[in-house]
Amino acid sequence: MNNKVINFKEELKLISEQWTLKNIAKMNDYEFKLVKIKGEFMWHNHEDTDKTFIVLDGTLKIDFIDFSVSITEGEMYVVPKGKKHKPYAENSANILLIEPSKPKN
* Greatest Cα pair distance in the chain: 44
pLDDT at residue 44 is higher than 80: yes
The class of domain 8-100 in CATH terms is mainly beta
pLDDT computed for residue 51 by the predictor = 93
Average pLDDT, rounded, for the chain: 93
pLDDT of residue 103: 52
Q: Among candidates 57, 55, 56, 48, which has minimal Cα distance to 77?
A: 55
Please state the pTM of the whole predicted model: 0.89
Calpha distance 10→15 (Å, rounded): 10
Domain map of the chain by residue range?
8-100
For 58-101, the pLDDT digits (tens) are: 999 999 999 999 999 999 999 999 999 999 999 999 999 999 98
| Average pLDDT score over residue span 6-22 | 94
